[in-house]
A and B are shown apart, each in its own frame.
Chain A
C-alpha cells in the first residue's frame, strides 16, 4: 500500500519537486519537458502539513536548476525545488514564475500570427498582486496578438 506521507529524501540523488498543488503533478511533469529516458516517480494526493494534500515529483539522478523548473511555476504555483545528494537535501528553493516563456504556450487566439507562421510563441508573464502574496493571479500575454491567457487557459495552451 502507498504510504500517506512521503519524505523528500525518498531518493538518493536527484531532484524533488515538492509542494505541487494536489492534482497538478501531471501538468507539472509535462511542463518539465524532460528527455524520454528520464526516470521519475510521481506521488499524487499525499498528506501535507502546509497544503493539506499535495503532489510530488521525484526525479532520480538528474539535478534541475531553478531555470529548468521555471515553467512548472506557471502550472503548479507554490512548488518547491529540492536537490537531493546522498539522501540529504543539499539545496531547497521556491519555484519561481518565469517573466517570459518562449515556445512553451500555444496562443489560443486562432487568428494570432503564431498559429499561421513558423515562429516560436513568446509570452510575458504577469502576476496580479490583488489577491495577496502566494495567491496572485498569473496571466500570460502573447507578444504578438497581445491576447492575455488566464491561468485556467494555460492547460489548454500547453504545447
Chain B
C-alpha cells in the first residue's frame, strides 16, 4: 500500500494510504540535505500553468521544483499564454505535455484540473481549480497537524469561520474522515457546513457544532480559522452581529489548552489578532512553510522513475 494516484486533482480521490504516503514522504523529504534533494528530479521538466494569479502557491511550487533540481517552464499569468488567443484548455495541455513530464496548474474554472488530467497523459497536480479543490493545501494542513502532534488520530480539531463556502475547510473536514478525530464546526447559522458534507463527515467522525469559538475552545487541540467575508452575507446586519465573534485574540484563547495550535490557510485579514502571532499557539506560519516539503514530496512521488 502506498501512493496510487496518477494525478493530484481532488482530496476526494485520496484513500487513507494515499494520505499517509504523502505525509511520510514529506517527512522524509525534510530530512534530506539540499544536495540530496537537488539530484532527485535532475533532467526533469515541470510546467507550472497559472491561468489565475497566485503568490504563495506558485512560489511554493516553483521553489519545490528548483529544490529538486528540475527545470520549470510555464507562465504566471494567462495573458502571456495562447489562452489569451482563445486556445482551449485541452489544446494547451496537449501542447505542454510535449515539453514537460508533469503539470502544476491553477485555473479559475471549477473542474479544470480534472479536465486537464482527462485530456493529457502526464501527471497533473491541481494548484486550485476555481472554488472547487486545492488538494495540496489540505495535504499541508494534515502534515502540519501530524508534525505538531506526532499523530492525527485522537485529536479534537475545530474549524471556525466560513464553513459554508470555505474550500479549505470542506477539504480538511473530508480528509479528516480517514482519521479517528473529533470535529468541532464553529460558525454562524448562515455560514455553517453544507448539510450533505456534514452528513458525510458525521458518518465517520464525531461532530459537534458551536456558534462561538469560546464555547468550543477548552476542548480543542487544533483550531483551524477561516475568514468570515462580508460579501457572503445576504443580510448586512447579520454580518455586523457575527463579524467580531470570529476574530481570535489572546482573550478568546484564555481557556484554551496550553498545547492548542491555531492554524489558518492564510492570507488573513483581521480574523487572527497580531498578538496571537508570538504566542505558542500560533502555528500558521509553520503551516505555510510546510507547503514546501509536501509539494516536493508530491513532485518526487509522481515524477521519480
Instruction: State A112–B115 Cα separation when bound (angstroms).
Output: 11
Chain A, 91-148, CB within 8 A of any chain B CB:
109, 111-114, 116-119, 142-148
Contact with B111, one of A118, A146, A148 (Cβ below 8 angstroms):
A146
Contact with B110, one of A112, A118, A148 (Cβ below 8 angstroms):
A112
Is the CB–CB distance between A144 and B196 below 8 Å?
A: no
Instruction: State A142–B90 Cα separation when bound (angstroms).
Output: 18
Task: Give the A-B contact count at a CB cut-off of 8 A.
Answer: 51
Q: Which bracket fits the contact residues of B?
A: 10 to 19
Chain A, 64-110, CB within 8 A of any chain B CB:
109
On whether A144 and B110 interact (CB within 8 A), knowing A113-B115, A117-B115, the answer reads yes
Instruction: State A117–B116 Cα separation when bound (angstroms).
Output: 11
Q: Which residue of B lies closest to A115 (CB)?
A: B109
Chain B, 75-121, CB within 8 A of any chain A CB:
88-90, 107-112, 114-115
**Chain A interface helix/strand/loop/mixed:** loop
Q: Which bracket fits the contact residues of A?
A: 10 to 19
Closest beta carbon of chain B to A116's beta carbon, Å = 6
Chain B residues whose C-beta falls within 8 Å of the C-beta of A109 in the assembled complex: 110
Is the CB–CB distance between A146 and B89 below 8 Å?
A: no
Chain A residues whose C-beta falls within 8 Å of the C-beta of B43 in the assembled complex: none
Chain A residues whose C-beta falls within 8 Å of the C-beta of B108 in the assembled complex: 111
On whether A148 and B196 interact (CB within 8 A), knowing A111-B131, A117-B88, A117-B89, the answer reads yes
Q: Which residue of B lies closest to A107 (CB)?
A: B111
Is the CB–CB distance between B88 and A112 below 8 Å?
A: no
Instruction: State A9–B108 Cα separation when bound (angstroms).
Output: 55
Instruction: State A111–B130 Cα separation when bound (angstroms).
Output: 8
Instruction: State A148–B195 Cα separation when bound (angstroms).
Output: 12
Chain A residues whose C-beta falls within 8 Å of the C-beta of B109 in the assembled complex: 111-113, 116-117, 145
Instruction: State A46–B132 Cα separation when bound (angstroms).
Output: 45
Q: Which 4 A-B pairs have the closest CB atoms?
A: A144-B111, A145-B110, A145-B111, A113-B111
| 17 residue pairs A–B, Cβ–Cβ below 8 Å | A111-B110, A112-B109, A113-B89, A113-B111, A113-B112, A113-B115, A114-B115, A116-B109, A117-B88, A117-B89, A117-B115, A119-B90, A119-B115, A143-B111, A143-B114, A144-B110, A145-B129
